[in-house]
Amino acid sequence: MNIAWFIIVTIVFIGIQTYIYGKWGLSRIQYTRSFNEKAVFEGEKIEMIDEISNKKLLPIPWLRLESKISEHLKFQKRSESDNDINSGEFHRTLFSLMPYQKVKRRQYLTCEKRGFYRFQTVSLSTGDIFGITENFRSVPSTAEITVYPQLLAIDEIPLPAHSWLGDVIVRRWIIEDPFLTSGVCDYAFGDPLNAINWKATARTNRMQVNQKDFSADHHLMIYINFNQTKDVWRPIIDEEALEKALSYASTVAQYAIANGISTGFGCNAYIDEVNKQSIRIEPENGRQQLTYLYETMAKVKMGTSTFFDYFLKEDIDKNMNGTDILLITAMITDKMTEMIKHLEEQGNSVEVLMMELDAVHQQANEEVLK
């Protein structure tokens, strides 16, 4: 008889606690997620803070938190007894809460790839002590983190030997201004024929060329061409090359703005998936501009919005002048060469930094074009 009563009481107890946890288990549970930084550079570590509170008398024996997290944000396992579970793009962690208890859990992530990461919802689930029932609820999460492209040392960028980014005179931009002449000098191999000063040549009986002066009023625009093949309808074939190009662009922007140069950025990719508009940020100076450039480069999608020669033609049509353009590209088409020539004729200076595709992608590209 005692055993029978024990079984009955046990069944009643299980039923009651199952009902209680099914009805009130997730009530008055508050959850927030945040990061200790709003933005970091690629390769840096960041702290993610999960804070959960049980604001009721009922203890919670177990509560599982599950969220989708990009595979490019890698968690660091703290110990073998860690309650965190990572499976692909899903992260799960377990909590146990006493009445009116608040738990704050800190986890460290390594940001392995440039991008903008937003956590929209987190799933909370709990149940009774014996795990007979389980209830779910999704809660909004407004946490987000921006991962800037990796910064490099300026001498790691394969710029031409006579690049603009060499010495800096009075910490200003040093690019020859086609409209300013400081004097003449003897002709040297490689000097353009249109720089020859015929009057000075006749007077000295030696070939003389105009020596251009430097201007502090020029602006820098950093352009990236996202077209990687002559077949512009093909998708991007080497994302790593473009990621490297963005690292080059962010490094040059940091270097230029640190030296007092108004700097802008543009590319024929896009940020908005719906309105795929090309990106063009006008040159400005200061820390705020640099942050804006970093954020834009972080959010650029791997896709193209237009042909790059059309992108350059927009500058020609608006009669852009007095601007130094650093063009980072994996290819130069005849049409692009024509656009570059027009830009130079309008008083701009263009320097091209060629990006190499890896051997596999380059070979595939050549086979397609045969």
Beta partners for residue 196, in sequence order:
209
Specify whether the CB–CB gap between 126 and 26 falls below 8 A: yes
Q: Which residue, 237, 222, 224, is CA-closest to 364?
A: 237
Give 149: exposed, middle or buried? Use CB within 10 Å, 0-12, 13-18, 19+: buried
Domain 154-175+215-369 fold is: Rossmann fold (3.40.50)
| Domains of the chain, residue spans | 29-148, 154-175+215-369, 178-214
User: Which one is the CATH code of 29-148: 3.20.20.140, 2.60.40.740, 3.40.50.10680, 3.30.420.40?
Assistant: 2.60.40.740
Q: What is the pLDDT of residue 172?
A: 41
Q: What is the pLDDT of residue 81?
A: 44
Other beta carbons within 10 Å of 80: 5
DSSP 48: E
Specify whether the CB–CB gap between 247 and 355 falls below 8 A: no
Rounded to whole angstroms, the Cα distance separating 40 from 131 reads 41
Per-residue pLDDT of the chain (370 residues; tens, 9 = 90+): 578 777 777 777 777 778 888 788 888 999 999 999 999 999 999 999 999 999 999 999 999 999 888 889 988 765 444 555 555 577 888 898 999 999 999 989 999 999 999 888 899 988 888 777 788 888 888 889 999 999 999 888 887 655 555 543 333 444 454 544 556 667 665 566 667 777 777 777 777 777 654 445 568 999 999 998 876 666 788 999 999 999 999 999 998 888 888 899 999 999 998 888 999 999 998 899 999 999 999 999 998 988 999 999 999 999 998 888 999 999 999 999 999 999 999 988 899 999 988 654 555 555 544 4
Strand residue runs (E) in the chain: 29-35, 39-41, 45-54, 60-68, 73-75, 85-87, 90-97, 102-111, 115-118, 121-127, 134-140, 144-148, 176-186, 208-214, 219-224, 263-267, 279-284, 323-329, 349-354
Give 135: exposed, middle or buried? Use CB within 10 Å, 0-12, 13-18, 19+: middle
Cα angle value 82/87/88 (rounded, 5°): 140
Q: What is the pLDDT of residue 109?
A: 92
Q: What is the pLDDT of residue 345?
A: 92
Rounded to whole angstroms, the Cα distance separating 108 from 21 reads 32
Q: What is the pLDDT of residue 326?
A: 92
